[in-house]
Amino acid sequence: MAAGDLAVDLPLVSGGEVGSLTEVFNHMVARLRDGRRELERLSVTDDLTGLYNRRYLMDTLANEIRRSRRLEHRCALLMADIDRFKEYNDALGPPRGRRDAHQGGARACATRRRVGLCGCAYGGEEFVVSCWPETDAERKAVGRPSAFAPA
């Protein structure tokens, strides 16, 4: 456990003082595991929306591009940016503008296909809606999608 391995659970083999210490130890390790999971979740999510954050996106996107090149398949990235957000933000105030932008991004990202994709908060009013592995070149898209073809 001192080396960071929290997969440890001691078997409860006796009662008394040793049994009590074993129970306390197992409880402590379980709380440490829960805390580590929560820290890992917080490090890759946006606090307002619960969407993955830019850090997670960059890691996932790098992996998808490597996989796409290795398998010689295409993948695509759809990015959404809210137009005239500054005007909206100035009219309603930054707290409301930020909250509304993130809620809109969260809704857009929630409509994505579930397998192999991620919706991410990229910036203040920018969202990466999805990353599609093995996208067909003929697939129609709205706006100007970025496509990553094998090199």
Distance in angstroms (rounded) separating the CA atoms of residues 146 and 99:
27
Strands 146-148, 120-121: pairing is unpaired
Tell me the catalytic residues.
125
Q: What is the DSSP string of 1-58?
A: -TTS-----------HHHHHHHHHHHHHHHHHHHHHHHHHHHHTB-TTT--B-HHHHH
**Angle made by CA atoms 142, 97, 84, in degrees to the nearest 5:** 45
In the block, tokens 């933000």 appear at 89
